[in-house]
A and B are shown apart, each in its own frame.
Chain A
């Protein structure tokens, strides 16, 4: 158990809909990262938040957005869903970038199926 929790574990929805994925980082970790894993694209970095502020952006679509709340949990919002958005979405957390390199701890993922 990494200490990172993600809900829900599975999500099935229809095209055009909007969903919210939730992540709680390990206790004390300030950074949260979101990744998308699909068979054809592999593990793609989406976005990173540090202590409530966006820190880095990867291959995140404009239809997707994220935020990190004062209690450090994070939500990834996916809207106008398309079939191609079906994937595993992982959240990871780490302690504090910039003061040594801290590895990321991954949650169990949310499997999103768009029908």
Chain B
């Protein structure tokens, strides 16, 4: 069975500080991993994805994530937070594209 755990439902960082959003997954097969962002009153937007190959994945808006198989993790990072990064972030795992399992989300607050 596949599942995703996002540690910390709320994260607050100061503007300019490092953003770290944690995601751990459970998968019985090689996982395909995704991070999505949701701004208020909007749908989810893909930030980045890992399928195969390079384990460090770069996405939009300066975000990146590293797939660590030994730790079953796919944490999302950004070196310097911007006010516009305030949003809800979802980690997801997919099994052969047929079904996506989403984490419960992490709400990011950026403090000026």
> CA–CA, A58 to B2, complex, Å?
13
Q: Is A56 in contact with B99, judged by CB distance below 8 angstroms?
A: yes
- Residues of A contacting B45 in the complex (Cβ-Cβ under 8 angstroms): 2, 106
Contact size class for B? Answer: 20 to 34
- Tell me which of A35, A90, A101, A107 contacts B51 (CB under 8 A): A101
Main secondary structure on B side of the interface with A: strand
- 21 chain-A/chain-B pairs, Cβ below 8 angstroms: A2-B43, A4-B43, A33-B100, A42-B103, A43-B44, A43-B90, A43-B102, A43-B104, A43-B105, A48-B98, A92-B44, A94-B97, A96-B97, A97-B96, A97-B97, A98-B98, A101-B96, A103-B46, A103-B49, A107-B43, A108-B42
A residues lining the B interface (CB < 8 Å):
2, 4, 31, 33, 35, 42-43, 45, 48, 55-56, 58, 90, 92, 94, 96-98, 100-109
